[in-house]
Structure 1
Amino acid sequence: MSPQETKDQFRPENHENDTFLLTTVVGSYPKPKWLNRAKELYEDDDADFDEANWQEAKDDAARLITDEHERAGLDVVVDGEMRRTEMVEFFAHRIEGYEFNGPVKVWGHNYFDKPSVVSEVEYDESWLVDEYEFTAAATDRPVKVPITGPYTLANWSFNEAYDDEEELAYDLADLVNEEIEKLVDAGARYIQIDEPALATTPDDHAIVGEALERIVDDIPEEVRIGLHVCYGDYSRIYPEILEFPVDEFDLELANGDYDQLDVFKDPEFTKDLALGVCDVHVADVESVDEIEDNIKKGLEVVPPEQLVVSPDCGVKLLPREVAFGKMKNMVQAARNVEADLDAGNIDIERGTPTPADD
């Protein structure tokens, strides 16, 4: 199936426009304040708040944020990663071979509970199937599953067991493949691989490409695979990333005021572009008009059938009301642009880029 065909399966039956710009989120969302208090109670040995209470709190938060995504109008929803901690820590706790020795200072007064790989990594318990099944049961809309990629899981850990990081990344890719197979068996059809480390170490794009080949091995073609890469010097990985076996690239461009947009215009962008149209680093809600202008920037790179609309990155650090406002305005802007495209009111010049395989 083409990337466009995998996208069309998420088009709502009652979609009001002929054009369809799929709207979704990258993953994380602000946690309700009461969930953080519940976690403190759960971790307090003197509090009467046991595992069952903690599980109920996470379930309630997952329902709440899934509903919030529905109310914003998103076509594909996520539970906001209510059950997850930091994006490497969460998975490292579930992979045999990792251990934790306490937080390390990364910048300023910020600390990161950086794990160590102390033995060969092995798949033990499922990581995300329960999360997916719960969210899918809580909504009638398609659910996307974000999962931290093997390169980031390797790069953001201390390696004390493997000869090099590349070997570790490939073993982790095999584990990610095993988890995705279980997610597919559970009904998941939209998987997003998060590789923020690629933006900071772009010379390793070949390792990421090989890891992705291992991940998608034997995954049914109707399963949509996206790759999210946070802000960085995209010119150092483009057009090489077009060889990656994914349907969609999710890119952080609003944060840089689209100064790297031209990078993707030549050679031709042959995959789907999930364009960041809201800046998650700014605690102001962009207007619908402003987001419409951002969406139109994406149409300078790809035609409407290849465009997906999302925020730049996860929105977990924003005030919750700001995050919701951005999502709601983003969806309205997408619907407005669709209507304008249907009416022939948008004329975007894309030129004639060099074919990607030249």
Structure 2
Amino acid sequence: MSNENKNQFRPDDHDNDHFLLTTVVGSYPKPKWLNRAKELYEDPDHGFDDGDYDEAKDDAARLITQEHERAGLDVVVDGEMRRNEMVEFFAHRIEGYEFNGPVKVWGHNYFDKPSVVSEVEYDENWLVDEYKFTASATDRPVKVPITGPYTLASWSFNEAYEDDAELAYALADLVNEEIEKLVDAGARYIQIDEPALATTPDDHAIVGEALEHIVEDIPEDVRIGLHVCYGDYSRIYPEILEFPVDEFDLELANGDYDQLDVFKDPEFTKDLALGVTDVHVGEAESVEQIEENILKGLEIVPPEQLVLSPDCGVKLLPREVAYGKMANMVEAARNVEEQLDAGEIDVERGAPTPADD
């Protein structure tokens, strides 16, 4: 099922027999003028109203979606132009959350950490309008990133539920409701972001249970991915293979692939969305370097199970660097596909090596 699920995103004009799907995790640098528009909107002395700000966000979403197209990505995202922060954005749209001001999280960074003060309820669509707009702005498939219930629970003050697990399960039901609406709107690729899992890996059973809630009644042709940021993956593998998702999006370039062996035994049975560019490096890796990184992924899974993306969201990079990483990644993917087609790469699990010819 998984390979068929992936091939629905193969472009009709794809030249190579092999297909290494290219996409992004989600966030992208906002145009400077969008940040300026936000300042004007928040300044009571300016007449920059809701309509003006909505138009600016629409323009930015259209622009970045087309930037993803220009880079050659098979599946695009709008760069999360309408979102501010991955928990705050959703918490504002869920009944039961309230905000009491920013909390210092590290260094000089502050996070507007919300509190759950009453039973959480689905109040309004979260991402359906965003998805419909993005889909109308491109001919390519659109992926929808959505913050997962475990992170929504862990990165909030819980004042209403017995523990974070109970809150996570309640939130999972809301995420399920939103995904059902996204599917009805035409979405076929949903990525659930659970960065909190990397920092609290002992809770993988809670995440698995929450995912069971989320995917209930979701059609098989809808691709569900799980993005887990950098952490000690040996503490969640192989248990995560039991999660009801099609692909795992893992941040491995950041650690120079030092955890690659973790996923070789037992066999990685899901699709692997491999980070092949490091978002913490402030320059675009060369096409040749990314090709080498792609071969690392082929040590874990065969080509039909491999998806390629940056390690994580690229919103903190200069925009031209973010674009360069994507464009070089796509070029590297097509080069490796050609080499696979020509038999120049022998892919035996655990040992991709150049053929002897």
TM range (shorter): over 0.9
For residues 302 and 272 of structure 2, the distance between their equivalents in structure 1, rounded to whole angstroms, comes to 10
Query: Which residue in the other structure is 2:314 paired with?
Result: 315
For residues 95 and 36 of structure 2, the distance between their equivalents in structure 1, rounded to whole angstroms, comes to 30
How many residues are matched?
A: 351
Instruction: Please state whether the residue corresponding to 2:79 is helix, strand or coil.
Output: coil
User: Aligned AA for 1:129?
Assistant: V
Query: Which residue in the other structure is 2:355 paired with?
Result: none
Query: Which residue in the other structure is 1:20 paired with?
Result: 19
The question of whether the paired residues in 1 share the 8 Å contact of 2:300 and 2:350 is answered with: no
Matched ranges for 1:293-304 at <5 A: 293-304=292-303
Whether 2:172 is the aligned partner of 1:173: answer: yes
Deviations 1:189-243 (A, max 9, x none): 0000000000000000000000000000000010000000000000000000000
User: Aligned AA for 1:284?
Assistant: E
User: Aligned AA for 1:163?
Assistant: E
Matched ranges for 1:229-268 at <5 A: 229-268=228-267
Query: Which residue in the other structure is 1:93 paired with?
Result: 92
User: Aligned AA for 2:163?
Assistant: D
Query: Which residue in the other structure is 1:45 paired with?
Result: 44
For residues 350 and 183 of structure 1, the distance between their equivalents in structure 2, rounded to whole angstroms, comes to 36
Instruction: Please state whether the residue corresponding to 1:277 is helix, strand or coil.
Output: strand
Point out where structure 1 has 5 or more consecutive residues left out of the alignment. Answer: 353-358
Deviations 1:46-76 (A, max 9, x none): 1010000000000000000000000000000
Matched ranges for 1:1-358 at <5 A: 2-351=1-350
The question of whether the paired residues in 1 share the 8 Å contact of 2:149 and 2:172 is answered with: yes
User: Aligned AA for 1:350?
Assistant: R
Instruction: Please state whether the residue corresponding to 1:263 is helix, strand or coil.
Output: helix
Q: Percent identity?
A: 86
For residues 279 and 207 of structure 2, the distance between their equivalents in structure 1, rounded to whole angstroms, comes to 25
Instruction: Please state whether the residue corresponding to 1:146 is helix, strand or coil.
Output: strand
User: Aligned AA for 1:316?
Assistant: K
Deviations 1:130-176 (A, max 9, x none): 00000000000000000000000000000000011000000000000
Q: CA deviation at 1:98?
A: 0.2
The question of whether the paired residues in 1 share the 8 Å contact of 2:132 and 2:185 is answered with: yes
Q: CA deviation at 1:347?
A: 1.8
For residues 39 and 62 of structure 1, the distance between their equivalents in structure 2, rounded to whole angstroms, comes to 14
For residues 35 and 349 of structure 2, the distance between their equivalents in structure 1, rounded to whole angstroms, comes to 47
The question of whether the paired residues in 1 share the 8 Å contact of 2:233 and 2:262 is answered with: yes
User: Aligned AA for 2:132?
Assistant: E
Instruction: Please state whether the residue corresponding to 2:190 is helix, strand or coil.
Output: strand
Instruction: Please state whether the residue corresponding to 1:120 is helix, strand or coil.
Output: strand
For residues 205 and 258 of structure 1, the distance between their equivalents in structure 2, rounded to whole angstroms, comes to 22
User: Aligned AA for 2:75?
Assistant: V
Q: CA deviation at 1:349?
A: 3.8
For residues 215 and 197 of structure 1, the distance between their equivalents in structure 2, rounded to whole angstroms, comes to 17
User: Aligned AA for 1:58?
Assistant: K
For residues 275 and 108 of structure 1, the distance between their equivalents in structure 2, rounded to whole angstroms, comes to 30
Q: CA deviation at 1:351?
A: 4.9
Q: CA deviation at 1:3?
A: 1.4
Instruction: Please state whether the residue corresponding to 2:209 is helix, strand or coil.
Output: helix
For residues 272 and 27 of structure 2, the distance between their equivalents in structure 1, rounded to whole angstroms, comes to 20
For residues 348 and 270 of structure 2, the distance between their equivalents in structure 1, rounded to whole angstroms, comes to 19
User: Aligned AA for 2:124?
Assistant: E
Distance 1:131-1:17 versus aligned 2 partners, 3 A rule: same
Q: CA deviation at 1:4?
A: 1.1
For residues 71 and 202 of structure 1, the distance between their equivalents in structure 2, rounded to whole angstroms, comes to 37
User: Aligned AA for 1:240?
Assistant: E
Q: CA deviation at 1:348?
A: 3.4
Q: CA deviation at 1:43?
A: 0.3
Normalized against structure 2, the TM-score is what? Answer: 0.98
For residues 349 and 223 of structure 1, the distance between their equivalents in structure 2, rounded to whole angstroms, comes to 29
